[in-house]
Each structure stands twice: as C-alpha cells, then as structure tokens.
Structure 1
C-alpha cells in the first residue's frame, strides 16, 4: 500500500480516528486521576571484605563477596531478613506479603545491593526501607565466614540510607499522556485501516481499476439544488468527458452506434446517466435516439417531462411505429418512451422485432442510447447489450460493492455482451476537486464548449 493510499484512508476516516484518539486519551487520563499515588524509597548496602592476617584469608573473603552477592539479594526477601523487621516495627503482615512490596537488585560485577520499598505513606516506606537494609546488614554479617579467631571476613554496611520521598513514583501523568496519545493514534488508524479493508464499496476509480481493466469513462460528482456554479459546471463537464471518451472507444465507427446504459442494482444513477449523455451528444450536433428499455420501472419520460403512454413496448407489439411514437425532446434528441408495461419484458427485448428496431434506429441516428434495468436482478440488460455496440456500467460511489461489479461483469460476459466502460456516479465534490481541480478556474473563465455548435437535423426515418 502506497503513502497516498494511507493518506486517503486518513482523509476518509479522520473523524473516527480522532474520536478513537480522544477516547483513549480520556480513558488514560481518567485512569491516571483515579490511581492512588505510590511512593518509593531506596537504600544502598555495600558488601566489603575485612582484611585478614594471611593472603589466603583475604582471598577467601574477596571471592565470597563477589560470588555470593546475588545470594544476598535473594536472602533479603526471606524470613530471616524480613521477620525481624516485622517484629521491630510491629507490622501486621507476613514475610511473604512484605516481600511483595520490596525490590532488591545488584548491578553486575559490583558489591552494591539496592533495597527499594513502595507504598502510599512516604514516611512509613522510608522507615521500612532503612529497617530492611539494617536487617540485611545483620544477616550478612551473621552468614559470612569467619577466621580461626571468629572474626568475620565479609561485612555489609549501609552507605546510602533511605530518605522520605517528596513526590510519588506513580502515576506519571506526562508519561501516561504520551503513551495514551501513541496508543490512541495507533488504535485510531488501525480501526480505520481495518474498516477500509473490510469495506468493499466502490469509492474511487482506483477501486474499479482493481476489479477490471475496462476503462472508467467518466466520474460524475454529487450535485444538489444548492450547488455552486463551479460545481454545476464540473457536473456538466463530466458528461462532456463521457461523450468524448465514447468517441475514443469507436462507438458510431468501428462499433455499432447503439449503446446500453445499465447498472448492477437499482438506484445507481443509470437513467440519469442515460438522459444526460443523450443530451450532451445532441448538443454536439449528432442525432440521438434515447430509448427507455426499462419495461419494468420506466423513468426516462418522467425525467424529461414527456408523455409515456405509448412507446417501445407498443412498437414491438406492432401497435405503433418508431416514426409515430418517437417524441422530440430537444434539438437533435428524440425519445422513445417505454410505453405500455408488458407482462413479459425479457421476451419482448429478446425478440426479432427488437433486433429490427435497433437496425433501423442505428441507420437513422448517429447515436442510440438505451436505458435498461440493472443487470443482477433481471436479464433484460444482458439481452440488449449482446445485440448492441456494448454496455456502459454505471456504479454509485459508496454504494456499489466489489462483488456486485464482479458478478455483473461475469453475467454480461456469459451473455456475450461487452462492457465498454464504467461510469462512477455520485462522487463527493471533494474527491472531484482532487481529481479535476481546474474546474473552478475553467468555469470562471466563461468558456463553454457546446453552446456555439451548429445543430443538424436528423435524416428521414423509416417506419418499422
């Protein structure tokens, strides 16, 4: 995964990342505040060798001090050292329990023993530390070897008595805060990364490119009624880009001039794409026929404010002709509504009458745009796409999922239909600005690409 992808994940999930970070920091702060302050006091004991009368005695004491200092460390936490401390201070505890509060260490290759005691009362732990150190000194002196005259060769001395601590050793607010920030950032971005991996919705053109080598012909932004002029212009420019890319893939030239617009599931914007694509094609001066082949839930006529009582279904059942039922919507654009909703849409769309209609329409119009039902619920789009120049698959950002696109492509391929490109619909304005940041500047210049183009009339149409 590249740095740009990590940055995109942060941009997509920054709210949950910040929320997780603040939650962890708050939890750490609360834990720190609720903790009881713990103090620590320590004392140092030095093990030394008494001088003997002979070199042998001196060597024996030195060797014992170096080799057995770790044994003294372990002895400190036993009853032989701690029981006298309990008795002296009148403590209501056991040596084993007291040993849990004591930490005894010795740096490597030294004769120092450090005794540390923790607790909530500074004065009490300072007194307890000194008592343990004193008891350790007594025990070492008792356990050390002696000379023939009974003099000990090894002696322990307290060289650094305990002092009453002025500040607690725990909790450490600053350390806890830093650790909380680090943990919160790690958990916050971790959950965002996990959500990104588990979220199979199509978000960007890169997601489509990972699924298929089929090109993305256009990225359509989300525009509402309160959209800025620059956003509206970017929206229109996206459809003009779609028109241009269609010409690049050879439609109307090497391919048949008819084109199916479909989607994976309902609600992805296929009808809106069909209508707007037909409009921009007509604005360029080409003659366009827009056919509403969604005989289950027709919407084209309603989008354009046209009468939909009669249309495609009536032409296919010989109750009307293409010439009679086609409605002019604007200059160079004619619309064939769905007409009467039949009980057998798939059979009608797969009939010889539909094939004949397509042949006539392709001869008489420069472009034939066909709005069809989604691919996955019904077979209508697959049937028509196999009889035309191909299909454009409309997907909706943050709604369409990878598996749906893959299943749709497989269905169309099985039906011998070719997908010529994708349209990614309803992309956020911020994402569009990242991809096409020049739109605002271009819009403000007042340039328009289609308004001055010459309109041409459609050739005479034959009756079907």
Structure 2
C-alpha cells in the first residue's frame, strides 16, 4: 500500500476527524469562556546608585556592581516580602504566594533596566500592583543591601509608570481557538489512524489488490436519491464493458460472506448484458439459500436443482424475464448441493447454456461457507469476487481468494460493492481494467 493509499484510507474517516476536532474546539471555547480574564500592566525601571560624597572611582565601580547585581534586584520584585506589602496596601484577597506570582520581571541583555509586568483581575488592580511594587522597591532594597564605606546606595526609579490596560491579556481567545483547531485536527487524524489500524474492513479498491485480486471496478452504494441508482447502473455498465473486453461469456459472481452484494451485482450485470441485445441468462447457483431468481421474477416450479437431478428439463426450469433476459432459479432449497454441483450434469448444463445464450451469469453462494462457487467456476470462464466496503475484512477476502486458488478456479478479478459514491477511483479502475483487456 502506497502512502497516498494510506492517506486516502485515513481521510475516508473524515467524520471521525471532524467529530474529534469539534469536541476539542468546543472544550477549548468552553474553558476559555469560563476563564477569569487577566489584565497586564507594564512599567520600566532603572537601577542606579547614589552617593553622599561620591568618589568617581567608587561610582564607576558601583555602576559595574549594579549591572552585575540587577538580576538579584529584579528578584526582589517577585519576592514574598514584596508580595506581603502589596497585599496589605491593596487589601488583596489572594494568598501571598499568589500575589507574588502576579509580578513578572525581565532584564534586557547588558542593561540595568528592569521590565516590570503585573497582572490583576481588573485593569485597576493590575496597575495598582505595579504602583505598589515601585513604592516599596527602594525600601526593600535598603533593608537588604547597603554598600559600606562608599556612601553609595542602590535606587530603582521608574522610566515609565505602570500602564492602565485597556483589554485583557488572557485568555487569548483567537490564539486558543486556533490552537484548539490545530490540536483537534491532529487528534482527529490520530483517532482516524487508530480506527483504521483496528478496523480491518475494506475501505477502497486498493484493498482488493492487497488481497491479491485484480481490480475490475466498484459499484457505488445504492442510496435513496434519484442520482444514486443512475450511478449504480452506470457502474454496472462499466463492469460489463470490462468483462466484454476480456471476452468472458460465462462466469460466477460470489462474495466471501453473505449480504456483501454478490447477488445484487450478478443480477445487475445480467440486466446490463441483456440491454445490449444479447441473450443472457442469470443462474441462481446458491442451492441452499436461493435469492437471485427472486430479484427478477417468480421462481415457482422446478429450478437448477431439479435439472441436475434429472427431475426437470432446462426448458421447464427457465423463466423468461424480458426479450433478452432469462432466469434459471435454484428451485427449492437443496441440502445435497455439495453433491449436485461437482457432477457431469452440471458440466453438461453449463455447456448447453453457453450454446443457447450469449452470456451466462451465475450467482454463487458465499465463498467462506461453501466450496460450491469454486466448483461452479471450474465449469465457466472464471469467478468475479465481490467484496463490500466496511463489511468484508481483508483477511476474509484473502482467505476466500486462497481457497479459490486451491481448487484451481480462475479468478477474473474483484469488485468493491457499496463503494463511496463521491469517488472516482472505481471508474479509473474500470478504465484501467478495460485497457488491459
């Protein structure tokens, strides 16, 4: 399987991707709207020294000293000692450690400047915390440090006062939503990939090739709209053209399991051949659970089982559905189907059908349950294997193909039933198969 095939398999599960992304985005929006807005006030402080009787060498030395120690001075603004003063001044309802967390500092490289940012639940609170920091900064520094013997002291002065913020700094709604969409899509893709890993059912015509089948094409899922039957009819015409290109006049249509569309495809193909004006017969080869004949008309009276037992003639069993289409029903369910089909009577019957009809389509029983379809396939040109998207699994299909090879049946190729109607892959496959023919 190529990378493009794998990507296509993942994108087929777009509903999973969209659902996961929608849930994540909804969660992000909910949390964002429930988050208390925070406002940020900014200020800029300058660290300098002062001297009562300055000595120029001491001043220069202390300038270097201030630059080296500015990181320590910035930490004072974030200390619990500062937070206690702010809490008392503004009568804040937060614990001291929470107040300390509302103060942030940054030092531009190579400077003695401190960028101060303070947060609050309102613009006034954020600005008030910044003003309180500046008010108590120098007294805290005086308590902590005094340069002895030089008369020098450190002073922090505001270059600009704390601002009054006009809008919240958090939560950042556009950023959160964008991050939620990105995370949602990534999680959705991961969920789709996991589903694909755990889901072993077929998703596209490429899975037929993985199971060892040549792709004859696909038949779209039959929906309720007016357009869907038209697309399905066109797909069956395309499949008819592929089989004509390979000059196959008699073949079995079967699927690995029940309810995977073999009978639907067989009946549709028989009708498609009949519309071209060629005499066509649809044979219900599922003697245990007959169904194909019922799709095209009444099935009362003798059928295939009776003809094989010698209880009825072929003319007695055939039902004419239209000018160019006849049906050979299975007749009453036969418990001895496994003994009737491998006989010379079946071989002679198929030969007679070939002589009387231009096209012979046999609806065979499920391949997993019985060997009947493989047995019938030895009497005709080969077998068309029908698999259903999101129903047939890869291992089931591979096992069915291996079983046909084991009984030396000629496998003509595979058809994907219930395919997605909005894809072109199947029509591309039809064209490729027709060119090979």
Shorter-chain TM range is: 0.7 to 0.9
The two structures, once aligned, show a CA RMSD in angstroms of 3.6
1:316 aligned residue: 308
1:58 aligned residue: 59
1:341 aligned residue: 333
Please say if residues 302 and 316 of structure 2, whose CA atoms lie closer than 8 Å, have aligned partners that are also in contact: no
- 1:258-310 residue CA offsets vs partner (Å, 9 max, x unmatched): 31111122122322322332344345454444322211111233223244431
Q: State the TM-score, normalizing by the size of structure 1.
A: 0.77
Q: What aligned pairs does 1:367-406 form with structure 2 within 5 A after superposition?
A: 367-406=359-398
**2: CA distance between counterparts of 1:325 and 1:95?**
96
2:32 aligned residue: 32
- 1:343-399 residue CA offsets vs partner (Å, 9 max, x unmatched): 221122223433343344445544332221111122221222244321011223443
1:448 aligned residue: none
2:297 paired residue among 305, 325, 330: 305
Comparing 68-77 with 163-172, greater Cα deviation is found at: 163-172
**2: CA distance between counterparts of 1:346 and 1:303?**
24
**1: CA distance between counterparts of 2:257 and 2:331?**
22
- 1:171-207 residue CA offsets vs partner (Å, 9 max, x unmatched): 3334334434444444455545554565544344334
Q: What aligned pairs does 1:41-120 form with structure 2 within 5 A after superposition?
A: 41-50=41-50, 54=55, 56-85=57-86, 95-120=96-121
**1: CA distance between counterparts of 2:266 and 2:165?**
79
**1: CA distance between counterparts of 2:155 and 2:111?**
15
Cα 1:427–1:215 shift into 2, 3 Å: closer
1:158 aligned residue: 158
**2: CA distance between counterparts of 1:313 and 1:186?**
58
Please say if residues 42 and 116 of structure 1, whose CA atoms lie closer than 8 Å, have aligned partners that are also in contact: yes
1:458 aligned residue: none
Q: Count how many residue pairs are aligned between Structure 1 and Structure 2.
A: 426
- 1:209-229 residue CA offsets vs partner (Å, 9 max, x unmatched): 44435131x43344568635x
Cα 1:208–1:34 shift into 2, 3 Å: same
Please say if residues 393 and 423 of structure 1, whose CA atoms lie closer than 8 Å, have aligned partners that are also in contact: yes
**2: CA distance between counterparts of 1:163 and 1:332?**
90
- 1:304-347 residue CA offsets vs partner (Å, 9 max, x unmatched): 32444312222222323335434444445443321232222112
2:400 paired residue among 398, 404, 408: 408
| Structure 2 alignment gaps of length 5 or more | 429-437
SS in 2 for 1:202: coil
Spell out structure 1 runs of 4+ moving beyond 6 A: 1-5, 90-94
Cα 1:366–1:50 shift into 2, 3 Å: same
